[in-house]
Amino acid sequence: MKRLLDLCLTCVGDHLDRLCRPGTFLAPRHKELLLESLCNHDKLTPSYLLSVTYNLFSPALKTIDFSRSSQVTDDLLQLLHSSKCQLLNLTIHGCPKVTDKGILAVTKGQVALRCLELRKLPKLTGAGLSNICSVDLERLCMYGCNRITSSGLSAISKTFCALSSLDLSFCSQLESSPDALLELPTSLMEFSLGGIQLKDEDLFIRILTRLPLLSEIRLYGVPAVSDYSIAQILNVIGAQLRLIDLGGPTTSVPLTDAGLGAISEHCGQLSSLSLSLLRSITGHSLLPMFRNADKARCLTSLIIRCTKFEAEVLLAVALNCSSLTRLDMAGMAHVDDDIVRAFAEHCRQLTYVGLKGCHQVTDEAVILMARNLPLTVLVLSGLNLLTDSCVYALANSCPQLEQLFVSGCSRVSRETVLWLTRQCLPRVYYEHNVPNPQGRGADS
């Protein structure tokens, strides 16, 4: 059910141009929430922007999140800078019109910035980072900014010696000079190198083992991942790791169950494990971890997208890992209602569930999840047994749902999905592409 606060903020956000100076009555946090909501719902239009900036931009703002919007431009970011706000957290994500000019403007003079996320900005280069000046910067994410080069990375490494989190996933220009990765600040606790085509296993081992404080590593799609390199790395830093993300058929000698045995052996505090597209993995070498009460209770996120991962191992996870909040079993055709039911009954904190391609799952299991779990993201693509019944259950029981993926669900109608989007509090991103829908609406 929607909170009164949500209803009030929605009403204010829809009538900024009609109310008498509403910005004077709004707390800074409410202005931040309204800006995020207006961005999410594509209301930063030229005709409405003057009302937005006049009422919501102020020196008191501390957190800005502009995500997935073509309405966010360099000019908008310049206006934000002109408000003289001193931000602690800034996120610009998937805004294709933003260039170096906009990032230079919005980061200028931000001496208190602690978290900066610049994700999937195709026009951003290393030059756009030159105004970042906060000595307190703790987190820097440049996921998918594929024009960032080794020289830009070296400048970051020298400037922010206290950085604790760095995401370089899919910064493909770094592949030409990977030695720059040996200059990273040793203060790093979280490090993502996903998608970087680094093939030298010895260099890969040196990069990671020289970072003594690491607790999270994301290494999906890195060719240097192998049984040998993972064993060497986990032997040094495994005991302190809380997150491991490995995936992708990236090596000539693929990662096997033997290599994963190092996770069970060395990692006693793991809270998140992701294994994707590892064709030979059955999961048996991980059973000692899943059946250990202390280790199982630590696990909050599990992503398994390995077609040979066995049902026995998944049931062990469901019965013992009651703290899970995120679960993804995409592509595992043997996952059925019984397995989903086990998770819905024993893992009541799940907010994210991915079942793409799990063709045996029916309405019964999805309705049980809707009733038992506080879902915000649900991936059901390709499940031909599902009907509108499960969508109605989600609309009635999951008001905080943010993302729904039902492409390929030919018995789910477009009208029902659209009705669900109007019942939920956040902006619901959905995908519902249905070939040959036989009279039912399909979103393209």
Query: Which pLDDT band holds residue 87 (cuts at 50, 70, 90)?
Result: very high
Residue 440's pLDDT is: 37
- Residues whose CB is less than 8 angstroms from the CB of residue 178 and which lie 6 or more positions away in sequence, other chains included: 150, 196, 198, 200, 203
What are the φ/ψ torsions at residue 247 (nearest 5 degrees)? -175, 165
Helix, strand or coil, per DSSP, at residue 283: coil
Residue 441's pLDDT is: 37
Residue 2's pLDDT is: 64
Amino acid at 179: D
What tens digit of pLDDT does each residue of 165-187 get? 999 999 999 998 999 999 999 99
What tens digit of pLDDT does each residue of 201-216 get? 999 999 999 999 999 9
3-state secondary structure 185-234: CCCCCEEECCCCCCCCHHHHHHHHHCCCCCCEEECCCCCCCCHHHHHHHH
Amino acid at 193: L
Share of the chain above pLDDT 90, in %: 84
Query: Which pLDDT band holds residue 439 (cuts at 50, 70, 90)?
Result: very low
Measure the CA–CA gap between 80 and 318, rounded to whole angstroms.
47
Q: Above 50 in pLDDT, residue 303?
A: yes
Domains for the chain: give ranges and CATH numbers.
199-324 (3.80.10.10), 326-334+346-444 (3.80.10.10)
Residue identified by tokens 């209770």 is 297
> What is the mean pLDDT of the segment spanning 38-46?
95
> What is the mean pLDDT of the segment spanning 188-210?
95
> What is the mean pLDDT of the segment spanning 75-100?
98
Measure the CA–CA gap between 36 and 221, rounded to whole angstroms.
32
Measure the CA–CA gap between 262 and 227, rounded to whole angstroms.
9
Query: Which pLDDT band holds residue 138 (cuts at 50, 70, 90)?
Result: very high
**How many of the other CB atoms lie within 10 Å of CB of 319?**
16
The three-point CA angle 415-420-425 to 5° equals 150
Residue 159's pLDDT is: 87
What are the φ/ψ torsions at residue 183 (nearest 5 degrees)? -100, 0
> What is the mean pLDDT of the segment spanning 106-118?
97
Residue 315's pLDDT is: 96
More reliable by pLDDT, 436 or 183? 183
Share of the chain above pLDDT 70, in %: 96
Query: Which pLDDT band holds residue 155 (cuts at 50, 70, 90)?
Result: confident
Choose the weakest-confidence range: 125-139, 239-253, 383-397: 239-253
Query: Which pLDDT band holds residue 253 (cuts at 50, 70, 90)?
Result: low
Residue 433's pLDDT is: 85
Measure the CA–CA gap between 187 and 213, rounded to whole angstroms.
6
Residue 246's pLDDT is: 93
3-state secondary structure 71-132: CCCHHHHHHHHHCCCCCCEEEEECCCCCEHHHHHHHHCCCCCCCEEEEECCCECCHHHHCCC
What tens digit of pLDDT does each residue of 338-369 get? 999 999 999 999 999 999 999 999 999 999 99
Measure the CA–CA gap between 9 and 233, rounded to whole angstroms.
49
Element (H, E) at 52: helix 46-56
Query: Which pLDDT band holds residue 317 (cuts at 50, 70, 90)?
Result: very high
Residue 218's pLDDT is: 95
Helix, strand or coil, per DSSP, at residue 63: strand
- Residues whose CB is less than 8 angstroms from the CB of residue 359 and which lie 6 or more positions away in sequence, other chains included: 333, 382, 383, 384, 385
What tens digit of pLDDT does each residue of 374-391 get? 999 999 999 999 999 999
Residue 348's pLDDT is: 97
Average pLDDT, the chain: 93
> What is the mean pLDDT of the segment spanning 11-39?
95
> What is the mean pLDDT of the segment spanning 405-412?
94
> What is the mean pLDDT of the segment spanning 24-40?
96
Diameter over CA atoms, the chain: 67
